[in-house]
Structure 1
Amino acid sequence: MEHQKLFQEFEAISSKEWKQKIQFELKGADYNETLVWESLEGIKVKPFYHADEFETNTQVNTQVTQFKIVQNIFVHDVVKSNKKALDTLQRGAESIRFTIENETVVIKDLMQNLPLENTHYFFYLPFLSIDFVNQINDFATKNKANFSIQVDPIGHLVKDGNWFTNLDTDFNTLNQIVAKTNLPFLNLETRIYQNAGANIIQQLAYTLAHANEYFNRINWSVESNSKTTITIEVAVGTHYFFEIAKLRALRLLFETLAKEYHPNIECHILATPTKRNKTLYDYNVNMLRTTTECMSAILGGADSVANLAYDALYHKDNEFGDRISRNQLLVLKNESYFDKVNNPADGAYYIETITEQLAEKALQLFKDIEANGGFITQLIEGTIQRKIKESATKEQELFDSGKEILLGTNKYPNKNDRMKEDLELFPFVKTHSRKTLVTPIIEKRLAEKLEQERLAQE
């Protein structure tokens, strides 16, 4: 049966005609000044987008229907972590991300009775150990488990200021891991750029430059037909459509770069809501923020989404916070039908325009970084840190002046809110004076100064 085309009796209206009508309605006010606004990235956003301004769509393959709900688990106690993983999988989580800080953890004990073949497990390691990677690899091979290891020496340098050992030793270890493991082993921890205040173009360019250092320094076997997957951990901010476009642009840029080195390298995007706009006071608003950020992540094509608990800033891990954050994703998936359509942003002219502009500007910045010695060199010189600080300062000024609004914090605050007795964790930037190779990039929330002043007055 032939589909009937709707609205054929209406004449098509061009973008030029729409603009003329808008200008008439503005009654002399300037179109650009009144209706066109500029983002922090320098992208001018128009009041409408029209089909006649597009020659081709920006093709990004986002398999939205396949996104997985991830539960983060810090492994302090193997028995408790195993029990928590079993429980959380029964309650709707589809994937687990273990953070293992201690090399004495026995993987066999951690994975006791956990479903293996159809459940994806991430192992985030804030250390570099061939023996430990071998232990995970051996278990996965023996049990046909779906594992991804997450090691990232450059990410460690960015956050800590030092390599695990030194540049040569760290990359030598990575090359030994490449030769010995069948598992995805590499992680790009890029959440820190967003959480420290980098704008979207910087986040994309730094992620690309971060990846390029690995492409240049790791001995990938190009002859091998087997696929290699790199996990990219991304923080999703509050700017709904821009964040959808950011993830689409990231996939586009990464795939373009990876093809230059290896035909079978893919990326697995693991998205988490940003910490930058989260607040201590009126903390329930954090749930609204994380919901829209998870929506951006899903629609932007994240492969996995790990939500941030509403109380993660000031409470230790707790069952209630975990359950609420997991349920937010379950509602999006099972009751809001976010897993029913692939490529949902395709054909949305606004999102496609932003995707294209972000990708172009990020590629330009990436080329500039490479022309000036590459990412590691620019970290050592302090250029990356300075640029992020400039961007963060701009955003902080907007928050301080009330132009960037966080409800319940710098707009409509509840003066009766009391938080001092509820702080199990220190929610502000911690400073440790020590000698480092590079200046570490520090995550900082917009509301910190305001919250410290309020706490002092309680």
Structure 2
Amino acid sequence: MESQKLFQEFAPISSKEWKQKTQFELKGADYNDTLIWESLEGIKVKPFYHKDEFENKVSVHTNVSQFKIAQNIFVHDIAKSNKKALDTLNRGANSIRFTLENESISIVELMQNLPLENTHYFFYLPFLSNDFVNQISEFASKNNAQITIQTDPIGHLVKEGNWYENLEKDFHKLNTIASKTILPFLTIKTGIYQNAGANMVQQLAYTLAHVNEYFNRVSNLKQPIFIEVAIGTNYFFEIAKLRALRILFNTLAKEYNHNFDCHILATPTKRNKTLYDYNVNMLRTTTECMSAILGGANTIANLPYDALYHKDNEFGDRISRNQLLVLKNESYFDKVNNPADGAYYIESLTEQLAEKALDLFKDIEVNGGLITQLIEGTIQRKIKESAQKEQELFDSGKEILLGTNKYPNKNDKMKQDLELFPFVKTHSRKTLITPVIERRLAEKLEQERLAQEE
């Protein structure tokens, strides 16, 4: 039976007719000044997008229905961490990310009785050790475990201002790891760019340049590359950002005959999270997780609503995990692939972000690459300039964080609830480069409020 089109009695309306009608309704106000706004990335956003003005130049496949729910676990006590991981998996997570502080931790003890089938384990190592990587690889091989080792010497340089040892020794170790393990071992930790205030074009370009350094400096790179990103609150832009990232990565990888798609691990940003009226953080992380899912993130580790001021706790972890479970199982986000395909607005944003980021990436490479520009301070300066623009919007009330610079609850007290220091920590040390510093928009305002509390 041939399908019938609905509403055949309605004639199609062109974009020109829509604009004419809109201009009439504006009663003399200028169309461009009134309805078109420009993002921090220099992208002009129109009030509507129409198929007769759209030409799809890019395509990206996102396997949305397969996204994994990850739980972060900092390993201080092996037995407690093992118990927490097992409990977390029984409560709906299907991926665990362990952060290991040192090499003394027994992988066998940590993984005891944990399910290995259909469960992905990440081991984030804030140190670089060939022997420890070998231990993890041997365990994975013997037990047929799905494990990703997360190392990123360049990310360590960006955050701390120094290499683990120096450039030559760090990359010598990394090349040794690449030659001896079949496990994925590189995770490009790019969330710091977003959390420090870089706009989306910068985030994408710096990520691409970050990856390119490894393609150039690590021989025989035959393992998949993982990319960790931070997701902000600009809903449709963030969907487009992840789609653009996948396009850019695959374009670059082809030049090096690297035939793996990237695995995107997404986490909500800390930049817009607040100390006061902290429950609003749950709304922010929910929309950010939605963007991550629809943008095609493979794994999502949600940020607990109280992560700024509370140590790890069962309640905060449970709420953050349940947000993802509701999205997956009750909002049917696992029932469709490529949901953004054909959405002219998202497709247009994807294309523009990818093109602008590619231009900036080329400029970075012409001027020596990411590491050179970090040493020269160019990257840090550009991020600082972008962050300042956004900070000015927040300070002036044009960028709103509800409950903080809009409708604040003056009776809200937080001084007695701080288990963690929620602001930028500074300590003097000698560094090779100026570190990229993560900073939240609300920090100055919150410090003023805390000082006024009785």
Structure 1-normalised TM-score?
A: 0.98
- The match for 1:396 among 391, 394, 401 is 391
Q: Name the SS of the counterpart of 1:69 in structure 2.
A: strand
| 1:233 correspondence with 2:267 | no
User: Any conservation in 2 of the 1:72–1:97 contact (CA below 8 Å)?
Assistant: yes
| 1:110 correspondence with 2:110 | yes
Match of 2:81 in 1: 81
User: Any conservation in 2 of the 1:57–1:347 contact (CA below 8 Å)?
Assistant: no
Match of 1:129 in 2: 129
Match of 2:96 in 1: 96
C-alpha distance in 1 between matches for 2:229 and 2:139: 28
Q: Which moved more, 1:3-12 or 1:130-139?
A: 3-12
Q: Name the SS of the counterpart of 1:165 in structure 2.
A: coil
Match of 1:317 in 2: 312
Q: Name the SS of the counterpart of 1:204 in structure 2.
A: helix
- The match for 2:363 among 356, 368, 390 is 368
User: Any conservation in 1 of the 2:56–2:347 contact (CA below 8 Å)?
Assistant: no
Deviations 1:271-298 (A, max 9, x none): 0000000000000000000000000000
Match of 2:419 in 1: 424
C-alpha distance in 2 between matches for 1:4 and 1:74: 57
C-alpha distance in 1 between matches for 2:54 and 2:424: 45
| 1:176 correspondence with 2:176 | yes
Match of 1:306 in 2: 301
Match of 1:30 in 2: 30
C-alpha distance in 2 between matches for 1:91 and 1:2: 47
Match runs of 1:373-452 below 5 Å:
373-452=368-447
Match of 1:331 in 2: 326
- The match for 1:341 among 336, 344, 362 is 336
Q: Which runs of 5+ in 1 are unaligned?
A: 222-226
Shift of 1:57: 5.8
| 1:211 correspondence with 2:211 | yes
C-alpha distance in 2 between matches for 1:33 and 1:291: 32
**Aligned amino acid, residue 295 of structure 1:** M
Deviations 1:193-236 (A, max 9, x none): 00000000000000000000000001026xxxxx6211101000
Shift of 1:262: 2.2
Deviations 1:112-153 (A, max 9, x none): 000112100010000000000000000000000000000000
User: Any conservation in 1 of the 2:124–2:149 contact (CA below 8 Å)?
Assistant: yes
User: Any conservation in 1 of the 2:244–2:350 contact (CA below 8 Å)?
Assistant: yes
Q: Which moved more, 1:256-265 or 1:425-434?
A: 256-265
Match runs of 1:140-151 below 5 Å:
140-151=140-151
| 1:66 correspondence with 2:66 | yes
**Aligned amino acid, residue 280 of structure 2:** V
C-alpha distance in 1 between matches for 2:57 and 2:290: 22
C-alpha distance in 2 between matches for 1:157 and 1:3: 59
**Aligned amino acid, residue 98 of structure 2:** F
User: Any conservation in 2 of the 1:259–1:265 contact (CA below 8 Å)?
Assistant: no
- The match for 1:358 among 353, 367, 376 is 353
**Aligned amino acid, residue 289 of structure 1:** R
Q: Over the residues paired in the alignment, what is the CA RMSD in angstroms?
A: 0.8
Structure 2-normalised TM-score?
A: 0.99
Q: Which runs of 5+ in 2 are unaligned?
A: none
C-alpha distance in 2 between matches for 1:314 and 1:4: 57
User: Any conservation in 2 of the 1:249–1:358 contact (CA below 8 Å)?
Assistant: yes
**Aligned amino acid, residue 114 of structure 1:** L
User: Any conservation in 1 of the 2:190–2:230 contact (CA below 8 Å)?
Assistant: yes
Q: Name the SS of the counterpart of 2:351 in structure 1.
A: helix
Q: Name the SS of the counterpart of 1:2 in structure 2.
A: coil
Match of 1:53 in 2: 53
C-alpha distance in 1 between matches for 2:366 and 2:242: 25
- The match for 1:285 among 273, 280, 289 is 280
**Aligned amino acid, residue 155 of structure 2:** G
Q: Name the SS of the counterpart of 1:449 in structure 2.
A: helix
Deviations 1:386-416 (A, max 9, x none): 0000000000000001110000000000000
Q: Name the SS of the counterpart of 2:337 in structure 1.
A: coil
C-alpha distance in 2 between matches for 1:442 and 1:420: 24
**Aligned amino acid, residue 231 of structure 1:** F
Q: Name the SS of the counterpart of 2:224 in structure 1.
A: strand
Q: Aligned residues, how many?
A: 453
Match of 1:18 in 2: 18
Shift of 1:6: 1.5
* Percent identity of paired positions between Structure 1 and Structure 2: 82
C-alpha distance in 1 between matches for 2:294 and 2:135: 36
User: Any conservation in 1 of the 2:309–2:421 contact (CA below 8 Å)?
Assistant: yes
